[in-house]
Structure 1
Amino acid sequence: MIEKILVVSTTGMGDCLWGTPAIRALKKTFPTLDIDLVVNKTWRSLFDFNPYLNHIYEYGSQWYLQPILGLKLFGRNYDAIYIFHTNRDFRRMLPWLSSVPIWTHQNHDWIPESHRMKIDDKVHGIQKRLIMLEKFGVKSDGGQMEIFLDQATLDSSTKLLKKHNFVAGEYVYLNLGASSERKRWMVDRFKELVSRILKETSWNIILGGGPNDKNRAQKIAKELNTTRVVEVCSQPLLVDADIISKARLMVTSNTGPMHIGFAMKTPIVALFG
Structure 2
Amino acid sequence: MKLQANYKNILCIRPDNLGDLLMSSPAIRALKETFNAKITVLTSSMAAGVAKLIPEIDEVMICDFPWVKNAANTSSDHFLDIIGDLKKKNFDLAVMFTVYSQNPLPATMLAYLAEIPVRLAYCRENPYDLLTHWLPDQEPYKLIKHQVRRDLDLVKSIGATPSQENLALIQTDEAWNKAQIKLNALPIDLQKPWLILHAGVSEQKRTYPLELWVQAAQKLMLKNDYQILFTGGAKEKALTDQLAEASGGQSFSLGGLFSIEEFVALISKAPLVISVNTGTIHLAAATKTPVIVLYALSNPQHAPWKSYGKVLPFTVPNNLQSKNEVIRYVNATFFSKKIKTVSPADIFQAVQKIRNGKTLIIPEIPESFIN
- State the TM-score, normalizing by the size of structure 2: 0.67
Structure 1 residue 102, shift from structure 2 partner:
0.9
In structure 2, give the amino acid aligned to 1:97: A
Structure 1 residue 51, shift from structure 2 partner:
2.9
SS at 2:160 equivalent: coil
Aligned partners of 2:202 and 2:177: how far apart in 1?
Answer: 29
In structure 2, give the amino acid aligned to 1:160: K
Aligned partners of 1:132 and 1:169: how far apart in 2?
Answer: 45
Partner of 1:107: 124
Aligned partners of 1:168 and 1:25: how far apart in 2?
Answer: 39
Structure 1 residue 115, shift from structure 2 partner:
2.5
Partner of 1:67: 80
Partner of 2:46: 42
2:165 corresponds to 1:161: no
Aligned partners of 2:106 and 2:255: how far apart in 1?
Answer: 30
SS at 1:41 equivalent: coil
Aligned partners of 1:53 and 1:141: how far apart in 2?
Answer: 16
- State the TM-score, normalizing by the size of structure 1: 0.88
Q: 1:23 aligns with which of 25, 28, 32?
A: 28
Distance 1:247 1:129, change over 3 A: same
CA contact (8 A) 1:24 1:52 kept: yes
Structure 1 residue 260, shift from structure 2 partner:
1.5
Deviations 1:187-210 (A, max 9, x none): 110111111111111321110123
CA contact (8 A) 2:197 2:275 kept: yes
CA contact (8 A) 2:42 2:63 kept: yes
Farther off after superposition, 64-73 or 191-200: 64-73
Aligned partners of 1:2 and 1:216: how far apart in 2?
Answer: 46
Percent identity between the two aligned chains: 18
Structure 1 residue 33, shift from structure 2 partner:
1.4
Deviations 1:138-165 (A, max 9, x none): 1233432122234542332122233333
Partner of 2:56: 52
2:10 corresponds to 1:5: yes
Structure 1 residue 27, shift from structure 2 partner:
2.4
SS at 1:98 equivalent: coil
In structure 2, give the amino acid aligned to 1:216: L
CA contact (8 A) 2:12 2:39 kept: yes
CA contact (8 A) 1:66 1:92 kept: no
CA contact (8 A) 1:107 1:116 kept: no
In structure 2, give the amino acid aligned to 1:103: L
Q: 1:148 aligns with which of 146, 155, 170?
A: 170
Partner of 2:282: 259
Q: 2:267 aligns with which of 244, 255, 268?
A: 244
SS at 1:8 equivalent: strand
CA contact (8 A) 2:108 2:130 kept: no
Farther off after superposition, 155-164 or 244-253: 155-164
In structure 1, give the amino acid aligned to 2:148: I
CA contact (8 A) 1:169 1:246 kept: no
Partner of 2:293: 270
Q: 1:90 aligns with which of 84, 107, 110?
A: 107
Aligned partners of 2:110 and 2:131: how far apart in 1?
Answer: 18
Aligned partners of 2:276 and 2:55: how far apart in 1?
Answer: 30
Q: 1:209 aligns with which of 208, 225, 232?
A: 232
Distance 1:91 1:146, change over 3 A: same
SS at 1:6 equivalent: strand
Deviations 1:206-262 (A, max 9, x none): 101233332222122223443x22222213223222212211111111122222221
Partner of 2:213: 190
Aligned partners of 2:192 and 2:151: how far apart in 1?
Answer: 33
Distance 1:270 1:166, change over 3 A: same
Farther off after superposition, 33-42 or 202-211: 202-211
2:134 corresponds to 1:116: yes
Task: Count residues in correspondence.
Answer: 271
Distance 1:93 1:34, change over 3 A: same
SS at 2:236 equivalent: helix
Distance 1:136 1:90, change over 3 A: closer
SS at 1:19 equivalent: helix
Aligned partners of 2:244 and 2:166: how far apart in 1?
Answer: 34
